[in-house]
Amino acid sequence: MAKMRKRTEAPATDILRALPPHGRLPIMIRPPLSLGLALLPLLLLLVFLGINVAVFGDSAIEGPNQIALLLAAALAALIGLYQGRRWPRLQEGMLNVIQVVITPILMLLLIGAMASTWMVSGIVPTIIIYGLKLADPAWFYAGAALACAIVSTAIGSSWTTAATIGVAMMATGDGLGMSLPVTAGAVISGAYFGDKLSPLSDTTNLASGVCGVDLFHHVRYLSLTTVPSFLIALSLFIVLGLRHTADGQIAQAEEMIDAIQASVFVSGWLLLVPVLVVVMIVRKMPALPLMLLATFAGSACALVFQPELVWQIGGSSDWIGLYKGTLTPIVGDTAITTGHPFTDNLLSTSGMAGMLNTIWLILCAVVFGGLMEASGCLERVVTALNSLIRGRTSLVATTGATCGVLNLTASEQYLTLLIAGRMYNDSYKAHNLGPRNLSRTLEDSGTVTSVLVPWNTCGAFHATVLSIGTLSYLPFCFFNLISPLMTVIYMRLNIAIDEVLTSQDRLVSR
């Protein structure tokens, strides 16, 4: 029986040398992806978005920005193919990201329906009238930020806060002659303050979970940077409010009140619906069923308190008119005619249909984000950022910069928190920093800046709900702009830093 010889495999280079010159197979070796090539889709996107804003203005969200995102996504896909990645892999990466935004898209549809039924039922007009009667223009901005902060902390959702009390604040500010960009900045600042500190917030739970930090330990540690940031923001809103002159605005507010009360039944009883929503959120009712319940409650109030208005919307005073008048605000455009053009504009709604441009934008954005990740472009950019780390302060600053890049490219704050949390976990351990430092930095830099990106899900949503462009309100989102700086300053000055005790430290402490 012949002995079996031990099989050895020669290195690939030896095999190539053994082949005759004319018998060698052509091998194409792609060089590593360069940073310039990885940044190309993002640069192309920013160029197109800038052109769109200049040419189309606020209507850029109605199609041009979506095309810009798809073109940038196509370039990212071409780069991935050039690097040797197969299309099925790129497509899988794109589809995986789309799955993440299904719930936010459903939330958008239901919030559009809820906001519209709350308008027709008289809930939002009631809040507007009370706001016009009680609001002092000098303190309005700070009051709007504080009110949104309280509501958002109670319910744990910046989106719901903006879609309810935020919409009312925008209308009230408009009636008082206040700046709409500043008012939107105050609403968003307050909404994101509560979103960060509420134990009911999904992003707060996600950031603490990714980093393995107890939820309430995370909230307490996060408050050390969040509260000072919000106090500074409040001070800036007070300064802007005190500089506002209310000449002639009181008369305009009175005209609005008279026009609304002549067309819509206003009653304090209607405020029980938003109170009920807050109670249900505090009792941890899931968001989607809650939004559906809030929509039904708004429709029921419209039938009870505004039957004539419902018939007017439906076009007849029979049961068909009642049916059409109930469904129309949920699904499409609805206008409440008051005879006062300014007030008519405030009381017009677009229901679920009004959210379709935003949903289109979100889908195109996550396609871009998914292809950036699947093509390797995102990984290359993040690797370049990692090379900047030289110490603790640069680690926190780099984490914040990474969150910014992810919000620009991945276009979804959940992905930002997940990816950045996984990336820097070991780096914080290597610098002897406890996981609470990472979870706080993710919130201070990732959660709050998502709303500042026009094509991010958060930026697109708030621009649609508040009816103002993202780039218009961005300079006045003081809390969102201060938070990333605050977390870096705390690390630089070594304030409230959670350090991990080394074995040598434990021996000394004993």
With bands split at pLDDT 50, 70 and 90, how would you rate the model's confidence at 28?
very low
pLDDT of res. 45: 85
CB atoms under 10 Å from CB of 332, counted, come to 14
With bands split at pLDDT 50, 70 and 90, how would you rate the model's confidence at 19?
very low
Residue 506 has pLDDT above 60, yes or no: no
What are φ and ψ of residue 491, in 5° steps? -70, -40
Please, which contacts does 328-331 make with residues 24 or more away whose CB atoms are closer than 8 Å? 329/113, 329/116, 329/117, 329/119, 329/120, 329/299, 329/302, 330/113, 330/116, 330/117, 330/295, 330/299, 331/113
DSSP for 439-503, written as a single string: HHHHIIIIITTGGGSTTSHHHHHHHHHHTS-HHHHGGG-HHHHHHHHHHHHHHHTT-S--BPPPH
Distant-in-sequence, close-in-space partners of 130: CB < 8 Å, separation ≥ 6: none
Alpha helices by DSSP H, listed for 410-442, are: 413-430, 435-442
Alpha helices by DSSP H, listed for 135-248, are: 140-155, 158-161, 167-175, 180-197, 202-211, 215-242
For residues 308 and 322, what is the distance between their CA atoms, to the nearest angstrom? 9
For residues 373 and 490, what is the distance between their CA atoms, to the nearest angstrom? 32
Residue 501 has pLDDT above 50, yes or no: no
Ranking 152-166, 387-401, 462-476 by mean pLDDT, the lowest is: 152-166
> Average pLDDT, stretch 318-337?
85
For residues 259 and 253, what is the distance between their CA atoms, to the nearest angstrom? 10
**What pTM, to 2 d.p., does this model score?**
0.71
Q: Which two tokens stand for residue 417?
A: 């928190």
More confident residue, 91 or 54: 91
pLDDT of res. 252: 62
For residues 510 and 508, what is the distance between their CA atoms, to the nearest angstrom? 5
**Burial of 151 by CB count in 10 Å (0-12 exposed, 13-18 middle, 19+ buried)?**
buried
Of 361, 284, 422, whose CA–CA distance to 414 is shortest? 422
pLDDT of res. 239: 92
For residues 380 and 362, what is the distance between their CA atoms, to the nearest angstrom? 24
More confident residue, 327 or 502: 327
> Average pLDDT, stretch 464-489?
91
What is the per-residue pLDDT across 410-442, written as a single tens digit (0 to 9) for each? Answer: 777 877 887 788 778 878 888 888 888 998 999
> Average pLDDT, stretch 164-185?
84
Residue 335 has pLDDT above 50, yes or no: yes
For residues 479 and 188, what is the distance between their CA atoms, to the nearest angstrom? 8
What is the per-residue pLDDT across 41-68, written as a single tens digit (0 to 9) for each? Answer: 988 988 887 888 788 876 777 788 889 8
> Average pLDDT, stretch 288-311?
88
pLDDT of res. 486: 93
Helix (H) or strand (E) holding 312: helix 307-314
With bands split at pLDDT 50, 70 and 90, how would you rate the model's confidence at 193?
very high
pLDDT of res. 58: 66
Residue with tokens 């950036």: 372
Q: Which two tokens stand for residue 129?
A: 């009238």
Instruction: Give SS3 for 285.
Output: coil
User: Are 392 and 437 in contact, with CB atoms under 8 Å apart?
Assistant: no
What is the per-residue pLDDT across 197-241, written as a single tens digit (0 to 9) for each? Answer: 887 777 888 788 878 888 888 888 989 999 999 999 999 999 998
Q: At what angle do helices 102-121 and 319-331 cross, to 10 degrees?
A: 130
Q: Which two tokens stand for residue 19?
A: 């082949």
CB atoms under 10 Å from CB of 139, counted, come to 15
More confident residue, 446 or 345: 446
Most confident listed range (156-160, 282-286, 444-448) = 444-448
Give the percent of the chain with pLDDT over 70. Answer: 86
Of 458, 467, 454, 387, whose CA–CA distance to 416 is shortest? 458
pLDDT of res. 63: 83
Distant-in-sequence, close-in-space partners of 153: CB < 8 Å, separation ≥ 6: 193, 194, 197, 198
pLDDT of res. 159: 83
pLDDT of res. 27: 40
Of 232, 230, 223, whose CA–CA distance to 496 is shortest? 223
Q: List beta partners, residue 101.
A: none
